[in-house]
Amino acid sequence: MAKLRIAMLAPISWRVPPRHYGAYEQVAGTLTEGLVHRGVDVTLFATGDSQTAGKLHWICPRPYSEDPELDPKVWECLHISEVFEHAGEFDLIHNHFDFLPLTYSRLVSTPVLTTIHGFSAPQILPVYRKYNHRVYYVSISNASRHPGLNYIATAYHGISLEDFPFNEKGGDYLLFLGRIHPDKGTYEAIQVAKKAEMPLIIAGLLHDRRYFEERVKPYVDGMSVKYMGTIDKRERASLMGNAKAFLHLINFDEPFGLAVVEAMACGTPVIAIRRGAMPEVIRDGETGFLVDSLEEAIESLQRIDDIDRKRCRAWVEERFTQDRMVEEYLQVYEEILGGGREAS
């Protein structure tokens, strides 16, 4: 029996796997490696410096976010068209590139599956609506689903557990790790840490410089509040495992929260605002606390030692592993290629 042939379309803002930042790229890479391990013939369409156990097909040599000489629009057009010009070589195209590839879907007979990682703005919804009955959609949480779209499944992100070793003891500091942006609640994490009189480490991509200069930098003193910038995978796991708690005090409806899962995998409980997918990702009172205000976040820190770090790890092992994600996507592929069209 011939192998299943999948074209995995990753973004090219960052490489696969990302060096520092790139959630879409990370998921596309983790899924690709897991599928290859299961015997699937996967061609990863990504930047030329990407690394994969599958077949790498590239047009853009480097991530455009790391090379200002690369025009994003030009290289995105070249990258996406390359996939669809080779569509006949594959049983299915799996799109992680947001809405633009949908506009090519009626030009080929190969089925297109799109994992919707989130809606960056309501202005992009007309594209998803137009291709609602042409392309198959997977949501990354039930909370992230748009009521006007049909979905074939929900598939939670999975991580490679070996990349996030369990730390039974943790440490004495709080951790914020994510984009430095108002949505992610960096300022709120600082306020909670200050009122709790606990040190805070901040790490992540500087996404909004004005926000950083006005709301974050004035508090960074290198002692009570430390900013480490972008960090690599090894530093990420170390910071997470050695933290007492991970703060995720978001100001938007988070569609999933990959860093939240990574922290829990290391054994670190998470304190998160009860928005978006957080009730699906965190087991309130067991792997962290869901709160509705900064005051509640501060109060929950007084109970953080009640959380069993082993339970945090076990929760991720139960629901958010690479193997579980691969298995769910294989079921989706089978349903699509078997002619299934029912939306859940």
Q: Which residues contact 119 (CB under 8 A, 6 or more apart)?
A: 125, 128, 146
Ranges in the chain, pLDDT < 70 = 1, 339-344
Q: Which residues contact 83 (CB under 8 A, 6 or more apart)?
A: 7, 9, 45, 93, 101, 104
Identify the pLDDT of residue 340. Answer: 46
Q: What are the CA-CA distances from residue 327 to residues 52, 87, 335 (Å)?
A: 19, 24, 13
Identify the pLDDT of residue 230. Answer: 94
Separation between Cα atoms, residue 287 and residue 304, nearest integer Å: 10
Give residue-wise pLDDT tens across range 219-271: 999 999 999 999 998 999 999 999 999 999 999 999 999 999 999 999 999 99
Separation between Cα atoms, residue 104 and residue 88, nearest integer Å: 13
Count of residues making up the chain: 344
Residue 53, classified by CB atoms within 10 Å of its CB into exposed (0-12), middle (13-18) or buried (19+), is middle
Domains of the chain are 5-158+321-337 (3.40.50.2000), 161-319 (3.40.50.2000)
Residue 36 parent element (H or E): helix 23-37
Closest CA to 134 of 88, 157, 101: 101
Identify the pLDDT of residue 121. Answer: 87
CB atoms within 10 A of CB 302: 9
Q: Which residues contact 266 (CB under 8 A, 6 or more apart)?
A: 164, 165, 166, 167, 237, 240, 241, 312, 313
Identify the pLDDT of residue 339. Answer: 59
